[in-house]
Structure 1
Amino acid sequence: MQNKIIAAIFDLDGVLTRTAAQHAKAWKQLFDAYNEQRKEEGEQPFEDFSIEIDYPKYIDGIPRYDGIRNFLQSRNIKLPEGYESDEPNELTIRGLGNRKNEFFLKVIEEEGVEVFEKNIDQIKKWKAEGVKTAVISSSKNCKKILEVTGIEELFETRIDGVVSKERNIKGKPSPDIFLAAAKELGVDPEESMIVEDAIAGVEAGSAGGFGLVVGIVNGASKEELLKNGADLAVQDLTDVKLN
């Protein structure tokens, strides 16, 4: 029998905001530019980055530099780690990661940020019923996105890429970011729901022993989400009944 759910922890990109597609676009721009650079410098080009295949498999929901490592490893490419202060044009893991962030900020500046209205409305209802709420994200741009969309006040705590770096919290598929959010809310994982759209996210929720792991069908399919740890997979949060 499922424990009573008294808290809900939400991923940002692809659950609250429509930024997952914008992240994917920025990753595509990054790796296409890097591939062109390799060609110009006489190096062997690699198989083009695919938003449909590579983004959910190697990058979605995962900290930025880990995503770089994952994708390059899939193409048998090794680059030096570099430093966080590396310029975006430097051919290091950190340099490419910083270039990706520039692409992403440009995309959201041009396109703006939209929220998933049905999900936001449902969270407001749960919050009014006394459910505790937290937002998590691997992104270091999380606070900015929350402010831009005006939904920052919906959440009692935020564990994002900035906080994770400060506290040395492991990224997904480790459950640590969700466990940190539950601890901040003062609740046990068994009485908490997590909501994710990424495969790495539902894997993390399952590994953390959370009472309910909900997958939002977005980048990953319903079958993939259920296979990797989601208790249920839905189009939006209006299909989720608590308790």
Structure 2
Amino acid sequence: MARQIVPSRSFHRLLTSRHYPLASPAPPLRPLLLPKALSLATAAAAPQLPRRGRRPVVAASASAPAPSSSEAEAVPGAWGKVSAVLFDMDGVLCNSEEPSRRAAVDVFAEMGVDVNVDDFIPFTGTGEANFLGGVARVKGVKDFSTESAKKRFFEIYLEKYAKPNSGIGFPGALELIMECKNAGLKVAVASSADRVKVDANLAAAGLPVSLFDAIVSADAFENLKPAPDIFLAASKNLGVDTDECIVIEDALAGVQAAEAAEIRCIAVTTSLDEDALRQASPVFIRKDIGDISINDILCGGSNAYHSM
């Protein structure tokens, strides 16, 4: 048992001599100076008080449930600096993957070849030449002309599926673009589609070309996604290093292209499910562009950071 210490009469006289009435508050205590080794050991064992400006960290207990992933905050600094966002078009800004497949089915129907929309899924995001030519190879179409098929594809697609302001833009696309711009980020379209389709889709979605700091399309490239060329060119056009860019993609080829370019990628499940997209290791996955917040882009979102 700890020994009780009773102040002596001399101690009371000392207080009185220094004009401290016994009923008054005690004088301020001077800090107790400990030997260095003892101070370090004591500090390590002592509970840590919160620093000024930070909320105290409360340990999880049975009476206090842990916050959900939507409530958890991203770790500052873990995500890194972001200066630009590279948006894929089909399946990200525009709900145009399914209409593209239907237009392609129409092209093959005119050639007398029986195909269905699912035949084109493995070639999604790889550009119209591969999109059409890949199915032609699988189906064994003889004397297939890629250029002729592309020309007819664009005619059908623009006439039937991508009329100006026809509403093919995903809800939330314009809002996220504006939030990025208001946050001082540069924004670009980086698509494996030809420029004629990019312009038509943006017009159909009500997204003015003037919104974007750069538009990079397939026309000038030999190697399309999953090669990194389009994303590397977009980064260069914006004057932003790849490690300060974020890609938003829906296609496996696009996520693979971002990985090849060493750019962080947020994937959306508008074309493929999560299991398929995880093959290419996006940093995290959202349902569609409307579920991506500016916090996701700037900080890695709520409990969403994963190393590549």
TM-score under structure 1 normalisation? 0.80
2:189 matches 1:135: yes
CA offset at residue 101 of structure 1? 1.4
Which of 133, 141, 149 aligns to 1:69? It is 133
> What value does the CA root-mean-square deviation take over the aligned residues?
2.1
- Cα deviation, 1:46-91, whole Å, max 9, x if unaligned, reads xx42323x22202x11221222221122223343xxxxxxxxxxx5
Cα contact 1:8–1:194 (8 A) shared by 2: yes
- Cα deviation, 1:161-194, whole Å, max 9, x if unaligned, reads 34x2xxx352111110011000011111111110
Amino acid aligned to 2:213? E
Amino acid aligned to 1:49? V
**What is the distance in 1 between the residues matched to 2:251 and 2:167?**
19
Partner SS for 1:133 = strand
Q: Which moved more, 1:121-130 or 1:230-239?
A: 230-239
2:8 matches 1:8: no
How many residue pairs match? The answer is 214
**What is the distance in 2 between the residues matched to 1:198 and 1:122?**
20
**What is the distance in 2 between the residues matched to 1:217 and 1:73?**
27
2:209 matches 1:152: yes
- Structure number, greater radius of gyration: 2
Cα contact 1:169–1:177 (8 A) shared by 2: no
Cα contact 1:132–1:185 (8 A) shared by 2: yes
- Who is 2:223 aligned against? 170
- Who is 2:243 aligned against? 190
Cα contact 1:157–1:184 (8 A) shared by 2: yes
Partner SS for 1:8 = strand
Cα contact 1:56–1:199 (8 A) shared by 2: no
Mark the CA change 1:189 to 1:234 in structure 2 (over 3 Å): closer, same or farther: same
Which of 122, 125, 150 aligns to 1:57? It is 122
Q: How does 1:72-221 map to 2 (within 5 A)?
A: 72-79=136-143, 91-108=144-161, 112-140=166-194, 141-148=197-204, 149-162=206-219, 164=220, 168-210=221-263, 212-221=264-273
CA offset at residue 214 of structure 1? 1.1
**What is the distance in 1 between the residues matched to 2:200 and 2:292?**
29
Cα contact 1:119–1:236 (8 A) shared by 2: no
Amino acid aligned to 1:103? I
Amino acid aligned to 1:69? G
CA offset at residue 115 of structure 1? 1.0
Amino acid aligned to 1:170? N
**What is the distance in 2 between the residues matched to 1:63 and 1:122?**
25
* Higher fraction of helix: 1
Amino acid aligned to 2:184? G
CA offset at residue 205 of structure 1? 0.6
Partner SS for 1:4 = coil
Unmatched 5+ stretches in structure 1: 37-47, 80-90
Amino acid aligned to 2:140? N
Cα contact 2:266–2:286 (8 A) shared by 1: yes
Amino acid aligned to 1:228? A
Unmatched 5+ stretches in structure 2: 1-77, 300-308
**What is the distance in 1 between the residues matched to 2:101 and 2:282?**
22
CA offset at residue 137 of structure 1? 1.8
Mark the CA change 1:159 to 1:136 in structure 2 (over 3 Å): closer, same or farther: same
- Who is 1:45 aligned against? none
CA offset at residue 217 of structure 1? 0.8
- Who is 1:85 aligned against? none
Cα contact 2:90–2:97 (8 A) shared by 1: yes
Partner SS for 1:195 = strand
- Who is 1:236 aligned against? 288
Runs of 4+ in 1 over 6 A off after TM superposition: none
Cα contact 1:205–1:229 (8 A) shared by 2: no
**What is the distance in 2 between the residues matched to 1:32 and 1:228?**
33
- Who is 1:224 aligned against? 276
Amino acid aligned to 1:14? G
